[in-house]
Each structure stands twice: as structure tokens, then as C-alpha cells.
Structure 1
Amino acid sequence: MPTTMERLQSLVEGLYIATNEGRIKWTKDENLDGYYCDVNFNRVEIVSEPTQRGESDIRITVYNSSGDAVDSFTDTFFGNEKPRFISVAHYYTAMSTMLDSAKRSSSGADKVLDDIIEALGGPKVGDDDIPF
């Protein structure tokens, strides 16, 4: 049976992959200065929390379909554990990248950029031959 650590690792890595592939739509949560996505009638929130050290921890909170918080953790939970299925050095990197992607997903920034690039006749993102 998987441990809590293994489950949370899989959650973070799965969210990271799905976010990067655009399979998750993140929405701004005006009440807590964070972002959330709904997955299979459950909700996942991601926020940046300032620490006493003057840095930020990234917190993920998971809610069940009734709206009850069932788990909450920060990147520090993973200590020195390395992600197993994604190419980043630490869980902080994965979670902070995911937070940045959630902001872009919520605001539609990438769609706007793609529309402008297309209007300019530029290549689609990911094209190897860049004409300008």
C-alpha cells in the first residue's frame, strides 16, 4: 500500500504534468490569493505563503467533493526527496512552477500571446523553424 509521502509525490507530479500539458484549467481564488482547479468533483488549491525566513513556501490543499479540506502540505514536507517522474530538481521547483502556470492559466496569458503571435504570422509555440 502506498505511503502518504508516495501519494503526495504522485499528486504533485501528476498536477505538474497535467498543468504543463494544459489539461487542467486553474482559476483565481479571490478569497485567498491563490488558484484552484477541480478534478473529478474534488478541488485542489495552490498558494504561496510567506515564511518567517522571508522566503515563500508553496502550499497545496486538497478538498473532497463536499468541500472539506482532507489534506494540506507545503513543499517543505518533501525535504530532500527528488521528484521521480518529472525533470525538476526539487518539489519546491515543481510546485512553484505549477503556481506560475496556474497564474498564466487563470489569466489566459498564454492564449493572448498565442493569438498575437498568430496574428503576426509567427510560428506556433514549439515549432523548430522560427521565421523572425
Structure 2
Amino acid sequence: MIQHTRDKQRRFVELLYKKTLSREINWATNEHKQIYAKIAGRLLYAYSQLNADGEDLITFVLFGSEDTVSDQFTDEDIKHDNIAPSSFENWYLLCAALLEIARRQASGADDALDAMIDELDDEVPF
């Protein structure tokens, strides 16, 4: 993989994390329980699997406008040359955090928890 592609994929993952954290991306699950988002009219799927050594791996699959796979990469693909993402020790940790937040948002877990916290939190701010 050329460095230019790796840099784009890294930027993509960092933006996904940032926008997911601020709830600017609408993550959902399909009938197969797969996590996906529609961005710029195209589909993105994210999932966890094991690599050949039995280690956790986060995979991103991007579909083009013709609903065919246009790109696919993993946290292992973007980890080379010892550059770590900001606020994370490595690319796997960032990708895993992104996937966990996306899953919680897609399932409605965060919305339910936030609503219950709001209901229970009767502390008056100073």
C-alpha cells in the first residue's frame, strides 16, 4: 500500500471517530446485525474479526456509488511506520473505540442511558 493511501485511510478513521463521538454520524445495524453508516451517499461497514494470528482486527469496508466494494482496510493496514493516532496508543485502540461507540449508538444503548441519566440526575449545577 502506498503512503498516500495509508494517510487518507488514517485521516478517514480519525474523522470517523471524531464525528461518531459527537453523534454526527448515524450508525445503524442491518438484519444481519452488521454495523454500518451512510456517508456521502455511500455505505461504510465496520466490524471486528481475528487475524491469522488470532488477534483482534477492526475492518472497514467502503462501498462506492454503484454499491460495489471500493476500498477495504484494517487497523493493521494503517499502523505501519510507528505513527500513532492522537489520544490513543495505537491504531487498533482507536478503531476498537470507534466500533464500540458505533455499536452503542446503533443499538440505542447510549440514547437510553442518556435519557435515564437525565431523568435521575436532579442535582442543581452551581
Q: TM-score range by the shorter chain?
A: 0.7 to 0.9
Give the unaligned 5+ runs of structure 2: none
Per the normalisation by structure 2, the TM-score is 0.86
Per the normalisation by structure 1, the TM-score is 0.82
Distance 1:94 1:42 in 2: 22
Distance 2:31 2:100 in 1: 16
The alignment-based identity, stated in percent, is 28
The aligned length equals 121
Q: Calculate the aligned-residue CA RMSD, in Å.
A: 2.0
Tell me what 1:6 maps to: 7
SS in 2 for 1:3: helix
Map 1:40-55 onto structure 2 (within 5 A). 40-55=40-55
CA contact (8 A) 1:28 1:35 kept: yes
What's the CA shift string for 1:4-53, capped at 9, x where partnerless?
Answer: 0111011111101000111011111333x431100110111100012332
What's the CA shift string for 1:88-131, capped at 9, x where partnerless?
Answer: 121111110011011101111111111111211346xxxxx6xx
Give the unaligned 5+ runs of structure 1: 124-128
Distance 1:37 1:115 in 2: 23
**Where do 4+ consecutive residues of structure 1 move more than 4 Å?**
none
Distance 2:122 2:36 in 1: 32
Change (3 A) 1:121 1:82: closer
Higher normalized helix content (fraction of residues): 2
